[in-house]
Homo-oligomer: A and B are copies of this chain.
Amino acid sequence: MEGIKHKPHTNTCQECRIAHLCLPANLNKQQMRGIEQLQFNSKILNPGDHLCHQGEKHEHLYLLRSGMLKSYFNKENGDEFVMQFHLPPELFGWEGIDDEQLSFSIVALDYSNVCEVPLSQLKEINTKHPEIQMQIFKLINQTVRKNNIAMLRTTAEQKVSTFILLLSKHYRTLGHPQYLCQLTMTHQDIANYLRIAPETISRVLHNLQHQGLIKVTRKKIVINNIEKLHYLSNGIKT
């Protein structure tokens, strides 16, 4: 799987379908015309393809246009540590930006399209389009919030139900009904990310299904009672 070649090609922000959710979000039409020179390489990744590897030189920020990614690193003892799942539109690759080397690897979980912003170009972008700074703030902020969402919960049930809701929201933006949710990653990865045991994921899903809130078929989850799932995820008892 990994062997398949990336097909880099160039994209201008002007013709990008999700520019309004991305760096140029705050630009008006006139300013948009001024960014003809804003164009970046974008990469198509197949599931299992790596975008970058731990230890490589840190030279890009990335913008996820579509698909789903996982960033992780290997601890000294060899254990994998899942940092994040990336969902579009997401700005990532800024973690550890003060380091020369990348402290993490990023792998595609789904067919994905990623836009590369060279760090070397960032200052220039910033000078020409200072409005973009605020948008970068917002994008970073969304990422931080997304991660807090699942990890700050205390019980396994809260964590898992929050995670399901997060994913289902993503699938809704893809046009699927929001009560549908596809687990593209393994239970192991989710468990690692949420800092719980993989067996616990299994048990919680079983419980949620038993309560009639969801229906699990393989890696597909249908949400029957999204309202109650929200309650659970926020620790509100009914």
Which positions in A face B, CB cutoff 8 Å?
77, 94-98, 122-124, 126-127, 130-131, 133-134, 137-138, 140-142, 144-145, 151-152, 154, 195, 236
Contacts and interface: CB of A to CB of B under 8 A. Distances in A.
Given A130-B127, A133-B126, A138 B97 contact: yes
Given A126-B130, A127-B127, A130-B126, A97 B154 contact: no
25 contacts: A94-B140, A94-B141, A95-B141, A95-B144, A95-B145, A96-B145, A97-B134, A97-B138, A98-B138, A98-B141, A98-B142, A122-B133, A122-B134, A123-B131, A123-B133, A123-B134, A126-B126, A126-B130, A127-B127, A127-B130, A133-B133, A140-B140, A151-B151, A152-B195, A154-B195
Contacts of A124: 130
Chain copies in the assembly?
A: 2
B130 A94 contact: no
Contacts of A131: 123
Given A131-B123, A133-B123, A144 B144 contact: yes
Contacts of A134: 97, 122-123
A141 B195 contact: no
Contacts of A140: 94, 140
Contacts of A145: 95-96
